[in-house]
Structure 1
Amino acid sequence: MEKQIIAVMGASSDTGKYWYKIFKDIKDYGLNVYCVNPKTPQDAKNRIYNAFSDLPEKPDTMIIVLRPELAEQAVKQAVESGVKTIWFQPGAYGEAAAQEARKAGLTVHDSCFMLATGIW
């Protein structure tokens, strides 16, 4: 897999949740990965950014680990920041969010990023 910058949207400070395994495994794989969640306090060990605009690099890919009703706002941020690809992790897909992403020219995946890329 080519080097890319990835943002995990929906991260939290709870390292027992699904987002953390994705984040940690992507990081261990050697890719640049950032966590974003406007409602989560900063995490000292794994920096969680409040907004895409706070990221030190522009991500190529957004992985959404949010409930479908929250995914639409995440897609808006992705479009504004120039993300090229969105992955809706299982349970995160929302048709309105996916349509908005496609309309903006983004590549949309409704499958597990980790399995599809061979990281898992």
Structure 2
Amino acid sequence: MSNLGPTELIIIAVVVLLLFGAKRLPDTARALGQSLRLFKKETSNLKEDSEAPTVVRTQAEPVAPQQVNAATPSVEERLRTLEEENRRLKATSETTVNGVPLSQTQNDQRSS
């Protein structure tokens, strides 16, 4: 490819400016820069992964069972807590008039 002179660079810049517009050009350049940085990072990670030695296990190592913390609540306790919180949230989410649920206030008005 031949060398690009100043006139060719100016023509290319004008064409790019016409294609993308003055407002979108900085955003496009920023996105292109981020893409190139990401590409460079991923290629360097691939090179590092291929150079890293691999560990081969010949025998299966025994795995210790997980220890249960005494402070950890049981499933039943957690379920009970969630049900209580759900009931509390339902009770507080009702629309009230002077502290009385709206549905009860409407029933009182109908019976009057």
- Give the structure with the larger strand fraction: 1
More helix by share: 2
Structure 2-normalised TM-score?
Answer: 0.14
TM-score (norm: length of structure 1): 0.14
